[in-house]
Structure 1
């Protein structure tokens, strides 16, 4: 069975086909079966918010959630710069990090939150997850039509969903 280390480290840290590979990362996750992977890596969301559209230069940003405890930087932190957009409604602000050599959107090395996102486009290998929902669909680009059968959530539905997920995790079910 593939471990999260096999999936994340191989897919993110070993990227010989990328224009740049000065940013090396490695995770230290325990071995897990692919059946348990969704509990460690995910969700896999397609975000249509205005800021994600700007960062990705596309109709949406495809992002995969990763637990902080399963990931650590090895080198290249000095090559990362951040752009922090002004606060729109409430904290936290929108912060985007990128490699100064190749411009790739990379995880924030200063973020200490329990969960963070990796742009799915960084991964050369199959993350063994599929997108599970479109989020912030009320901000969808007018020139883009969602044609798949994934759940579509506006901001209110997403906030409600995330609260339910947090409550389930706290309850241990």
Structure 2
């Protein structure tokens, strides 16, 4: 059985637990991820939707999108917590919202074809213009 990781938004209104059984992790440079994070990229870890459980702040969630695809934020502080993807079956957990360190690490940069022109990737991870 995998261990549980804790996660939360900046103001701690929304809190969650998620199994440390992520299937993949990447760093996305697409314009949508840049805008939703306010950063040059979004490091995320992918997991089946049922493996994350909200433990506080359900009523405070701010969801942009629908049940099959959205970005879920804290409505109080605006922190991005996760994105619902792949027809609603998976979550891309924003790794910056994790309190505990996951066992997985990002393995690639994706959507580098649309990355911020002012940001330079300096690590040796593979880079893909879109999805690998």
TM-score (norm 2): 0.81
Equivalent of 1:69 in 50, 55, 60: 50
Is 2:37 the counterpart of 1:56?
A: yes
Distance change (3 Å), C-alpha of 1:124 and 1:24: closer
Is 1:106 aligned with 2:81?
yes
CA distance in 1, matches of 2:59, 2:22: 26
The structure where strand makes up a greater share of residues is 2
Per the TM alignment, residue 138 of structure 1 is displaced from its structure 2 partner at its CA by 0.2
| Distance in 2 of aligned mates of 1:62 and 1:108 | 12
How many aligned residue pairs are there?
130
Q: 1:69 to 1:112 in 2, by over 3 A?
A: farther
Asked whether the equivalents of residues 68 and 112 of structure 1 are also in contact (C-alpha less than 8 Å), the reply is no
Query: 2:10, 2:79 within 8 Å by CA — same for their partners in 1?
Result: no
**Partner in structure 2 of residue 24 of structure 1:** 15
Unmatched tracts of structure 2, length 5 or more: none
How far 1:121 moved relative to its partner? 0.6
Q: Which residues of structure 1 form unaligned runs of 5+?
A: 30-36, 85-91, 162-173
In the TM superposition, what is the alpha-carbon distance from 1:115 to its structure 2 partner? 1.4
Q: CA RMSD in A?
A: 2.8
Deviation above 4 Å: which 4+ runs of structure 1?
Answer: none
- 1:141 positional shift: 1.0
